[in-house]
Structure 1
C-alpha cells in the first residue's frame, strides 16, 4: 500500500475514496461468486480475538468461527472504530477500507463447526485517542443464512494502555 502516499499527495481524499471503491468492487466480486452457492444453508458465525491500542495504533487478532450446521464457502467481517482512521493504512491481503472508520476482511471458507484462519491487522487512528470502541460484525455470509441472528455488532472498549482486550 505504499502507493497511497502518492494518492494522498496528488488527489487527497478523492484518491483514497477511489481506492476504497476498487477494494469494494473486489469484495463485491467475492459476494457474487458466493451467491451462486446452491442449497438452503444455515450457519452461525462468531469472531473471537483481542485488540490492543497504543500510540494511536490498534492491533487486532481475530479468529472466525462457524457454529454450523452448514459450511460457509466464504464470508467477510466488518471492523468499525469510534475514531476515524488515518488516511494512510497498510492492510493485509483480503482486507479493504470501506468507510472513514471501517475495514472489511475476508474470512475464507468456514467448515461447519470449524474455525477459520486467524486475521491479524493493524490500523492507525487519526491522533492518539485515550480509548476507542471497536465493533465486530459479519458483513457478508457467502449465501449462508444465520437464523435467529440479529446481526448486532459485538462491541469492545479498548483503552490506550497497550494491554490486549479480549472479545
Structure 2
C-alpha cells in the first residue's frame, strides 16, 4: 500500500505544481522560492479527494502551534522542522501520513510514512476562519475536472 500511496502522492504533486503558481498569482503576492509554500491546506484537501475518488479512505489533518504570550510553544502541534513546530496540513490514509508540501520547510517534496511519525502532531481543530475553509474547498473543486483529465479519468 505504501508504494501505491507514494505513486499517487507523486502524481498529485506533479499535477499541483503549476496550480500552485496559479494560486500564488491569484493571491497577488510574489511567487515564493518554494511553490508549495502556503498551499498545504488546499493541497492536502485535494489529495484526500483524489484518494477517496479511487476508493481509499483518507482524512485531512492539520496542526497549528499555539504560543504563549512569552513566545514558546505550548506542546507539539503541526510539522516539526528546523527545530520548531510549523503550522501545516497533511493527509492520513491506510495507516500512513501523506504529505506533498513539506518541502516548504526543507523536507522531501513527497513524504509517505507510517502514522505516528514524530514530525507530525495533529491539533484539536482547524483554526482557519470559515471564509478560508470555504476558499480551500472551492479551490479543490475548481481544479477537479482538470485532475480527472490529467489522470485520464474523464
* TM-score calculated relative to the size of structure 1: 0.26
Q: Of the two, which has the highest radius of gyration? A: 1
* TM-score calculated relative to the size of structure 2: 0.27
- Higher helix share goes to which structure? 2
Q: Which has the higher contact order (CA 8 A, sep 6+)?
A: 1
